[in-house]
Amino acid sequence: MSDVPRLFGSRAIVTGAANGIGEAIVRTFIKQGAGVVAVDSSESGVATMFKALKGVTPMVASVTDKSSAEDLLKNASVKLEGLDIIVNNAAIQPPAPIGDTDEAALDAFLDRRIQLYALMARAGLPFLSKSPAGRIINMGCVRSAFTLQGEQAYRRSQTAIAELTKALAAEAGAQGTTVNYIQPGAIMTHASRRIFSEDKVLRDHCIAHSAAKRLGEALDVAKVALFLASDDAVFVSGAGIAVDGGRV
C-alpha cells in the first residue's frame, strides 16, 4: 500500500506561481495531494500554464491593498471550499539586481514585498483560523536579486523577512496557525538564469560561496515548503530555513 500524500486534502494558495520557485511549489503540492489556487499577473501566462494540471485553479490577480487581498483570498477559499496554506512568493526578483549603494531601490523593493506579504497574511488569518492546520510560508529574496556588491542588501532582505515572520507568528499562534519563512540562496529560476548568463562573475561567486558548490534548483526550495506546509512542522513557527547549500 502506498503512503498517503503528505498534503492530502489540504487547500493552498500560492502567489507568484507562474514560474521558478512558485511553479515548483504548486507542482509539488499537487503531487502531494493538495488543491491549489495558483496566482500571478495577467502577463505571466498563469491562466494557461496549469490548464491541464488536475487540482490547480489558475487565478489572475494583483494585490494592492487590504480590500484586494481579502477579495483574492475569499475567491480562493470559495474555489477550494476552504483554505489551509498561504504561500507568499510574489516579487522575488526586482527589475534589476540591487547593490549595497542602491538604498532607494532596496527600500522600495523591500517595503513593497513586506507590505504585500503582511496584507496577504493578515487578510488570510480569518480563513486559516477555520483550518485544523493553518500555515503561512513567506519566501525570501533569491541571491540573484542583488549584485556582486550587494551582500549587505541581501542580508537586509533576510532581516526584513525574518522580522515580519516572527511578528506574524506571534499574532497567529493562538489560533493554531504557524508562520515561517524560507530564505533561498542562489536558486536557478527563469529570471535568475538570465541574470547569471549576463553576469557570470556573480554566478561563479555564488557557486564559490556555497558549501555545496552549485546553484540551487526551484525544487530544492519547494521540498522545504512541503515540509513547512505539512503536519511534520506543526510545532515550528516564527522560524526560517535557509536553502542555499550552506554558506562559506
What secondary structure does DSSP assign to 143-199, as a single string? GGGB-TT-HHHHHHHHHHHHHHHHHHHHHHGGGT-EEEEEEE-SEE-HHHHHHHHH-
Alpha-carbon gap, residue 181 to 87, rounded angstroms: 9
Which region, left, alpha or beta, applies to residue 20 given φ > 0 means left and ψ of -120 to 50 means alpha? left
Tell me how long the chain is: 248
DSSP code, position 54: T
Taking the C-alpha atoms of residue 137 and residue 88, their distance in angstroms, rounded to an integer, is 6
**What three-state secondary structure class fits 121?**
helix
Mode of pairing for the β-strands spanning 240-243 and 56-60: unpaired
The β-bridge relationship of strands 135-139 and 216-217 is: unpaired
Catalytic residues, by residue number, are: 154
Residue 169: name the closest of 122, 127, 132, 126 by CA.
Answer: 122
